[in-house]
A and B are shown apart, each in its own frame.
Chain A
Amino acid sequence: MIDNDFPVMASGGRTSRLRFALALAPLLVGASVLLAGSAAGAVSVAFAGEVPVTVHAARVSASGVSASPAASGRGGLLPALATRVEQATVEDACVTSTAHLPVVGAVTAVVRIERASATGLTVEAGKATARSVKLSGAKFDTPRVSLDRPTGLFTVGAQKVSGSTVTTQPHAFTAGTITSRGVSIDVRRGAAGCEPRAAR
């Protein structure tokens, strides 16, 4: 079926516009279906990486939270708070990620999410701010060598955490699955941020 002598026989070639359109159209349709499914929460999209990401969320709720100091590596060691969350939900969130790509330069992806939930989430963040935070079932643990000699590390945990107007800049994150609803994605050149959403 495949002519292996082809490279010897070919002296040139051309690109058929009709074939190009016929080949590209199903791909674009498939991509549209996948993106629409992702926006509707039917398709989970896997994200990973240590790309600089800023997350703004109007409301955050999580369960099974534990956090402890850690080091995050990016050309060296950065102090970070490693937070493990069994299940998390964010509402009215805006995620911006600027990647400095070769040739193209800075490209910023702005993702607005009406509601997203994640399971098995691990976040290494160096900075986080919130207008208000509510904890239930909170615990604090400092392993000690003896009564007056702590090891230096501590663990903060809570059964349930909820916060409002949360902003964080995670260094790295890993999620088992992320399911989102009401997603709009905008990719633009340059390093832009989240513009405030129009008052609703």
Chain B
Amino acid sequence: MSTAMRPGRRSARQGWRRSRPFAAGLLLGLGGLELICVSWVGLGFLQFTGTAGAASWALGSLFVVAGVTTWHNPALRYFSGVLAAVLSLVSLVAANLGGLLLGFLLTAVGSALALAWIPQQAAATPEEEA
């Protein structure tokens, strides 16, 4: 029973990935987590050190939200993509050089992927055409 379900689940998962800018959301989320990790490594739990420490958490959280928005509602990909693109530049000066440049690169590529994604519209069924 379960083995029979696996191909169906796999194709459903592939369909879910293909129906949205999956790589863009993934990179935005990873970039946000990286920004937080760079600030967090060696910090001790939930210690903020100055404005850059707080900025790392704030920007990282916004990147994760942008990534989740890109996945959950691909129609908003332009909004989340442009927001992430601007924030990636802000992270360069506000958050430990964009998480030692790695976080900037992840979020910049993620935002560009979100903006570059083109949906393929499903063909309308005869009932819909009628």
Contacts and interface: CB of A to CB of B under 8 A. Distances in A.
A101 B116 contact: no
Interface residues on B, range: 35 or more
A31 B93 CA distance: 10
Contacts of A198: none
B37 A34 contact: no
A49 interface: yes
A48 B51 contact: yes
A9 interface: yes
Contacts of B119: 6, 9-10, 12-13
Interface string B24-68: 000000000010011101111001111111011000000000000
Contacts, number: 176
B49 A45 contact: no
B130 interface: no
A99 B51 contact: no
B41 A13 contact: no
Interface string A137-164: 0000000000000000000000000000
State the 5 A-B residue pairs at the shortest beta-carbon distance, nearest first: A48-B52, A20-B116, A19-B116, A174-B50, A46-B52
Interface of A: 2-4, 6-7, 9-20, 22-24, 26-28, 30-31, 34-35, 38, 43-52, 73-75, 97, 99-102, 104, 107, 109, 172-175, 185, 187
